Structure 1
Amino acid sequence: MLSFQTALTFFGFSLVLGLSPGPDNIFVLMQSATQGRKAGMLVVLGLCTGLVVHTLAIALGLAAVFAASAMAFLILKVLGAAYLAYLAWGAFWAPVSEDTSITATQLQTRQLYLRGVIMNLTNPKVVFFFLAFLPQFVSADRGSVAMQLIELGAVFIVATIIAFGSISYFAATAGQRLRSSARAQRWMNRTAAVVFAGLAVKLALSQR
């Protein structure tokens, strides 16, 4: 079992990492700004669901097997880049409306959640990050290593919800006025498309 000091230190590091610019929090920021706070939080929950899968994979040793496979890395990288490109296309051609009483968030609750899940699971860099980051806080003297990894994963998820939730809140607040203007909506959609396309290219060019 983790000591309180270890858990607190790990939580602090995780919170800072969650607030540092990266693909996932930029993704949350754009979704929140263009579709609202609820949409952003659904994406956050989806991303954290993906983190649950990664945590269990680390604890069971599956992640190490994946990390050793160049083909698995390539397949996930291509799938992730393709999905981001698909989102970029959708954002670029997204319709705009002066009526903000009916939002994409209400119409696409399941889709928004799945966006977060897919975004996280198809990013092979998350596996390598967990493999490098979590074991640094594990001690064989404190019992089951697998259980400690699961506890660290849970702490990381809590920190992620706080960090990404804050980003979602402020981004949605900033985007609220813009969403009342058709022209501003179109501008935000085009910006989101460029950001998603950029993330797709970055992921496609990433190396192990």
Structure 2
Amino acid sequence: MWGMEHLGLFILAGWLLNLTPGPDVLYIVSNALRSGARAGVVAAFGITAGCFVHIFAAALGVGALLATSATAFTALKWLGAGYLLYVGTRLLLSRAPSAMHLEAAPEDSTGAAALKDIFLRGFWTNVLNPKVALFFLAFVPQFIAHDADNKTLAFVLLGVLFNLNAIPINLGYAFLAAWAAKRMDAVQRGMHWLDRVAGALFVGFGVKLALTEAP
């Protein structure tokens, strides 16, 4: 159908891949734990928006450029690594939340400006990671029929399907983390240290990306 094949396997593989913890899942969970379900949902949609950029860029050949040009890959790699280090450092240096903030977070009282910031950070965390572009370039073509009339259209449709299938899983992480934060006093009391742990992990992801060699 429309140049696509093995859709059932494609959907199942996508779900399994999205269940695997990584920078995206960490970003969603850390925001949901700290500021409630609404913040986690906004983080999830920021990441989803970033994935759409990679899907359409790969369909237009930008992904192929990253796969074949060491210069292009390195430039985006350092931008992505720098941004992950920036996000991690912000979390590491964040101040301990007040008792009032801890009480407000489970009620999803995060303001519009803060939610916009959460969305944009999720968006750029994803867009500036060249490994996401290479993932789509390596994974999606396996499910495009060899005799497809329009392989670019098939690529876009599969990429969009993958991204839409990821939304329930990402939202599930957000709601589960927010549910846990509401019911676990230890989580709320340790929110400051959770920020530290999340910050250290983001720094680790940034260092790992910086050390990644061009394909």
1:147 aligns with 2:153: yes
1:87 is displaced (CA, Å) by 1.5
- Alpha-carbon deviations, 1:168-187, whole Å to 9, x = none? 11112212355798742222
Q: Is the 8 A contact 1:98 1:181 kept in 2?
A: no
Structure 2: stretches of 5+ with no match in the other structure: none
- Alignment partner, residue 84 of structure 1: 84
> Aligned to 2:104, what secondary structure does the other structure show?
coil
- Alignment partner, residue 182 of structure 2: 176
- Alpha-carbon deviations, 1:122-167, whole Å to 9, x = none? 1111111111100000014343111111110111111211111111
Runs of 4+ in 1 over 3 A off after TM superposition: 1-5, 102-105, 177-183
Structure-1-length-normalised TM-score: 0.89
The correspondence of residues 1-208 of structure 1 with structure 2, limited to 5 A, is 1-2=1-2, 6-95=6-95, 96-99=97-100, 100-101=103-104, 105-106=110-111, 107-177=113-183, 183-208=189-214
Q: Distance between the aligned counterparts of 2:4 and 2:146, measured in 1?
A: 16
Q: Is the 8 A contact 2:15 2:166 kept in 1?
A: yes
**CA, structure 1 residues 179+39, in 2 after alignment: closer, same or farther (shift >3 Å)?**
farther
Q: Is the 8 A contact 2:181 2:188 kept in 1?
A: no
**CA, structure 1 residues 21+94, in 2 after alignment: closer, same or farther (shift >3 Å)?**
same
1:198 is displaced (CA, Å) by 1.5
Q: Distance between the aligned counterparts of 1:58 and 1:115, measured in 2?
A: 22
Q: Distance between the aligned counterparts of 1:12 and 1:76, measured in 2?
A: 30
Q: Distance between the aligned counterparts of 1:179 and 1:45, measured in 2?
A: 28
Greater shift in the superposed pair: 60-69 or 97-106: 97-106
The number of equivalent residue pairs is 208
Greater shift in the superposed pair: 121-130 or 60-69: 60-69
**CA, structure 1 residues 164+195, in 2 after alignment: closer, same or farther (shift >3 Å)?**
same
Greater shift in the superposed pair: 148-157 or 68-77: 68-77
Structure-2-length-normalised TM-score: 0.86
Q: Percent identity?
A: 34
**CA, structure 1 residues 3+146, in 2 after alignment: closer, same or farther (shift >3 Å)?**
closer
Q: Is the 8 A contact 2:50 2:124 kept in 1?
A: yes
1:5 is displaced (CA, Å) by 6.3
Q: Distance between the aligned counterparts of 1:3 and 1:71, measured in 2?
A: 33
